[in-house]
Amino acid sequence: MTSPIPAETLAAPPTAPILRLRRAVRRLEFVPAVVAVIALWQIASLVARNPTILPPPLVVLRAWIGLLGGDLIDDMLASLTHLGIGYALGAATGLLLAALAAGSETVEAIVDPMIEVLRPIGAIAWIPIAILMFGVGGGVLIFLIFHAALSPIFINAFAGVKGTDQRLVRAAQTLGASRAMIVWRVVIPGALPLILAGARLSLGVSWMAMVAAELTGSDSGLGWRIFWYQEFFATDKVMAVILTIGVLGYALDTAMRQLQARVTRHRPAADDAR
């Protein structure tokens, strides 16, 4: 006697409107978290009863609106410029080193231990040396962001390339594919999910390194603006800039997640990407 077919197997696939509704719910899932944070923030402000130390949310919102007509936009552009240059250099270097290490055991024996030694050293630890080398300015920021971006993308890209299914490589070789074709049609597509995961992780670490570097080794950017307002005890403006950093970081991570889902949408795991 055959077992009955589960009801969910017979269920019709979700229609396009239902899929769009699910995507919309996923995009708005951060709203409850934001409401909870604002509520806790308001309660903490009332308990502290000192708006200079902990201004309430509405005060910070008014300060943020006022900053939009001032230097905030310029600081955002400066920070994004620092991030773009440092992250691009770090990611490109990480990918190049991963490709070289995956293709040569000699290079792997040199590069992999070097990355593993440098990886635990946070970008903040390099700030004094970076200031001595580059002075206060953009060179410090680019160097520190480069350092932060390099390790995560190297590790993930290297693991992805090394983990390529060798059966697919041998099959391509049997069919007469050239080495370049194997790299572009077999290795890179197989390693792409890990490469993108490393790129996302690298972007988050780079963003944090950028803020820390701007606090101490810069004359522009969001981190530098926090230090500037702190000198005048303008806590509401400090909080406004901090929230701007958080929103921009969330937006960058969301864009990277969408890129991951779009590029790997042919894979089963892509349906769960958020």
* The residue to which tokens 């963003």 are assigned: 207
Is 3 part of any domain? no
Q: Which domain holds residue 104?
A: 67-272
Is 38 part of any domain? no
Is 37 part of any domain? no
Is 31 part of any domain? no
Is 53 part of any domain? no
Number of domains in the chain: 1
Burial class of residue 46, CB neighbours in 10 A (0-12, 13-18, 19+): exposed
pLDDT of residue 199: 92
| 174-203 pLDDT per residue, tens | 777 777 777 777 788 788 888 999 999 999
Give the CATH number, domain containing residue 89.
1.10.3720.10
pLDDT of residue 249: 92
Distance CA 271, CA 181 (A): 28
Distance CA 133, CA 122 (A): 17
| 215-273 pLDDT per residue, tens | 876 778 899 999 898 888 889 999 999 999 999 999 999 899 888 888 877 554 433 43
Is 30 part of any domain? no
Question: How many whole angstroms from its chain centre is CA 94?
Answer: 15
Is 45 part of any domain? no
pLDDT of residue 92: 95
> Residue 180 corresponds to which amino acid?
A
| 103-160 pLDDT per residue, tens | 888 998 999 999 999 888 888 888 888 888 887 777 888 999 999 999 999 999 999 8
Cβ neighbours of residue 60 closer than 8 Å, sequence gap 6 or more: 236, 239, 240, 243
Is 233 part of any domain? yes
| 36-94 pLDDT per residue, tens | 888 998 898 888 888 788 889 999 999 999 888 878 899 999 999 999 999 999 999 99
H-helix or E-strand containing 93? helix 72-103
pTM reported for the whole predicted model: 0.79
How sure is the predictor about 10, in pLDDT bands with cuts at 50, 70 and 90? very low
